[in-house]
Amino acid sequence: MASKVTPISGFQEWLPTERIAELIVLDTIREVFELHGFASINTRAMEPVDRLTGQGEDADKEIYGVRRLAAGPDDTGDVSLGLHFDMTVPFARYVLENAGKLTFPFRRYQIQPAWRGERPQRGRYREFIQADVDIIDEGRLPDHFEGELLLVVADVFSRLPIGDYQIHVNDRKICEGFYLGLGIEDVTGTLRIVDKLDKIGADGVQKLLLDAGCTPKQTDQCLALAEIRSEDTGFVEQVRALGVQHELLDEGLAKLAAVIEVANEHAPGVVVADLRIARGLDYYTGTVYETMLTRDPGYGSICSGGRYDALATDGKRTFPGVGISIGVSRLLGKLITEEGLTASRETPVAVLVAVTDEDSRPESMRVATALRSRGIPTLVAPKATKFGKQIQFADRRGIPFVWFPGEDGDEVKDIRSGDQVPADRATWDPPAGDLRPSLVVPDVSSSGRKPNDRK
C-alpha cells in the first residue's frame, strides 16, 4: 500500500554532492581540532531531564523528552530522559563520571548531533550537528585557554570557504560587575534581557529593563555598555568613561584585554570585543564568544561558546572549563542551501573500470582491487554496454577517469580532456586533486542564484 511522503521541517537531508561537501567540512574541522591537540569523545544522546533543565531562560521548553510509545499510563520512567540540546552539558557529566581516568587539563573535541524543540526557521533546526572543542581542568583553569580557543576557530575557518567573519568576544564578568556597580540586584535577569538586543532592539530592551525595576539611569548605562565595540583593547577606556566601578568589572576588563591581545597577535582582524554579547545559557561565567558572517550578520552566530566554572561539580571537586562550538548545520544551511556550495562530484569514485563484456568482468574487478589496495576509490561499470555509454555513466557522476583493461596492456582515459594513455594498475595514480572530491564554491555575487527551498 502506497503512503504519502510528508516532509518534516527542521531537519537537513542532502543530495549526494551536498553530503560530500558536508563531509569535507566535517573532515576539515576534525583535522584542525586534532592539530591543536584535542582528543575525540562521543557521548550518549540522552541525559536526565533534571540535568538538562535550568541552564537558561529557554532551555526547559527546548528539550525533547523521550518516552517509549508502548509505555502505559503509569509508566512515566522514561519521561525523565531528554535529548541533549548542546554538547557542553553532557560533556560536563562525562567528566564527572570519568574524572579518575582523564588527564587534566583535558582537551576534547566532539562532533555529534543535538536536538532542540524550537520552531524551525532560517538557520535553526530541530536536529543539527555541532563541532565542539573544550578544555577542562580540575580545581582551576588558567585564563590563557580562553584566548587559545579563538585561534582554533580561526584556523578552522581559514581552511573553509566561509568568507569574511568576525568572532565577537565579551566577558560576562564585565557585565555582571558593571550591573553590580550600578546597584542592580538581578544580574542574571539583566543579562538575559540585554542578550535580546539583536532580537528586539534597544527600545525593546529598554522597556524590559524598566519593567524589571531598573531606573532610567541604570537602563541608559546598561545600553551604553552594550554599545561598546573595539578591535583592540580600547574598550577598556570606553568602559571606564562610563564611571562605574566594581572589582568584578576590573577583573573582567583585564581578562578580555588579554584575550584580545592574543587574538590580534596570532589571528589579526578576526576578533572584536563586543560588550553586548552575553549568551543565553546561565552556566557561562567568564569569556563568551559569538561568530558572525560579515556578509550576513543577521543570519546569527555560526560559532559560539564561553567559559563555565561550576557546570561540572560533584560537590567536592569542581572542573572549570571553556569551550567553543561550531554550528555545522547552521553554517551549511547558509553555504549549501542558500549559496549553493557543493562538491566536484556526487561520488568518492575517481576511476570507473570499464567492462568489455560480462566474460571479462573478473579482470575488471582485478583492476579495481589493485587500485583500491593503493587507496584509489574505484568502481567497476555495472553493465557491459558500449564504451561510450560507460563513459557517459562516469561523466554524469563526475568520475574523472575511465580505465580500459586490455590483453596488450591497460589504458586510462581522462574523460574531461579526452587524453588516453597506457597505465599500470600497480603504479598509476591520479593527480592529487582528482583523488577525492573537492568543494565547489559558487560565485554568489554574480550568479544570481536563488536560495534552495529545501530544508
For the chain, which domains are there?
7-45+84-161+318-344+439-455 (3.30.930.10), 163-301 (3.30.930.10), 351-436 (3.40.50.800)
CA distance 248 to 184: 14
**Other beta carbons within 10 Å of 190:** 27
pLDDT beyond 60 at 58: no
String of b and e for 66-83 (b: at least 16 CB within 10 Å)? eeeeeeeeeeeeeeebbb
Q: What average pLDDT does the segment 101-117 reach?
A: 96
pLDDT in tens, 16-39: 999 999 999 999 999 999 999 999
Q: For residue 453, what pLDDT band results from cuts at 50, 70 and 90?
A: very low
Could you tell me if 333 and 12 are in contact, meaning their C-beta atoms sit under 8 angstroms apart? yes
Query: Nearest-CA neighbor of 292 among 127, 199, 145, 169?
Result: 169
Query: Side chain identity at 21, as an amino acid letter?
Result: A
pTM, entire model: 0.89
Residue type, 300: G
pLDDT (0 to 100) of residue 445? 52
Average confidence (pLDDT) over 65-70: 81
Interval 187-211 mean pLDDT? 90
Closest CA to 290 of 229, 348, 216, 370: 229
Asked whether the predicted pLDDT for residue 452 surpasses 60, the reply is: no
pLDDT of residue 454: 36
Side chain identity at 255, as an amino acid letter? Answer: K
Compute CA distances 446 → 231, 336, 439, whole Å. 31, 17, 19
Q: Where do the DSSP E strands lie in 313-454? A: 321-327, 342-343, 351-353, 378-380, 401-404, 410-414, 420-423, 439-440
Band the pLDDT of 76: cuts 50, 70, 90.
low
303 — phi, psi (to 5°)?
-160, 125
Higher pLDDT pick, 312 / 346: 346
Query: Cell for 201?
Result: 532592539
Task: Assign 198 a pLDDT band (cuts: 50, 70, 90).
Answer: confident
CB count within 10 Å of CB 240 equals: 13
For 292-415, where are the alpha helices, taking DSSP H only? 328-332, 361-373, 387-397
Q: What is the CA radius of gyration of the chain?
A: 27
Contact 66, 46 (CB under 8 A): yes
On the question of pLDDT at 455 being above 70, the answer is: no
Q: Annotated binding residues for L-histidine, as ranges?
A: 86-88, 116, 130, 134, 279, 283-284
With a cut of 80, say whether residue 1 has pLDDT above it. no
Of the given ranges (48-52, 278-282, 367-371, 434-438), which has the lowest mean pLDDT? 278-282
pLDDT of residue 66: 87
Q: How many helices (H) and strands (E) does the chain have?
A: 16, 19
Pair 278, 191: CB distance under 8 Å:
yes
- pLDDT for 329: 96
Confidence of residue 451 (pLDDT cuts 50, 70, 90): very low
Of the candidates 371, 312, 346, 353, the residue with the CA atom closest to the CA atom of residue 105: 312
Q: For position 191, what pLDDT does the model report?
A: 87
Cell of 183: 546597584
Among residues 380, 371, 376, the alpha carbon closest in space to that of 424 is found at 371
Higher model confidence: residue 283 or residue 1? Answer: 283
Greatest mean pLDDT range, 53-67, 83-97, 155-169:
155-169
Q: Is residue 357 pLDDT above 80, yes or no? A: yes
Q: For residues 181-196, give the mean pLDDT.
A: 90
The set of cell numbers assigned to 93 is 557529566
> Rounded to a whole number, what is the distance in angstroms from the first to the last CA of the chain?
27
**352-364 average pLDDT score:** 96
**How far is residue 57 from each of residues 70, 192, 193, 208, 281, measured CA to CA in Å?**
32, 8, 10, 15, 7
CB 252 within 8 A of CB 174: yes
Binding-site residues: 86-88, 116, 130, 134, 279, 283-284
Tell me the pLDDT band of 312, cut-offs 50, 70 and 90. Answer: confident
C-alpha grid cell for residue 271?
576578533
Q: Is 330 within 8 Å of 128 (Cβ atoms)?
A: yes
Span 401-422, pLDDT tens digits? 999 999 889 999 999 999 999 9
What is the average per-residue pLDDT within 428-447? 85
| Contact of 409 with 374, CB cutoff 8 Å | no
pLDDT tens, position by position, 208-255:
999 999 999 999 999 999 999 999 999 999 999 999 999 999 999 999
In whole numbers, what is the pLDDT of the chain averaged over residues?
Answer: 91
Please, what's the b/e burial string for 298-325 (b: 16 or more CB within 10 A of its CB; e: otherwise)?
Answer: ebbbbbbbbbbbebbeeeeebbbbbbbb
Q: If pLDDT is split at 50, 70 and 90, which confidence band does 7 have? A: confident
Q: What integer is the mean pLDDT of 326-339? A: 96
Q: Which of 91-95, 307-311, 405-409, 417-421 has the highest mean pLDDT?
A: 417-421
Higher pLDDT, 280 or 273: 273
What is the reported pLDDT for 310?
Answer: 86
For residues 172 and 278, the answer to whether their CB atoms sit within 8 Å is yes
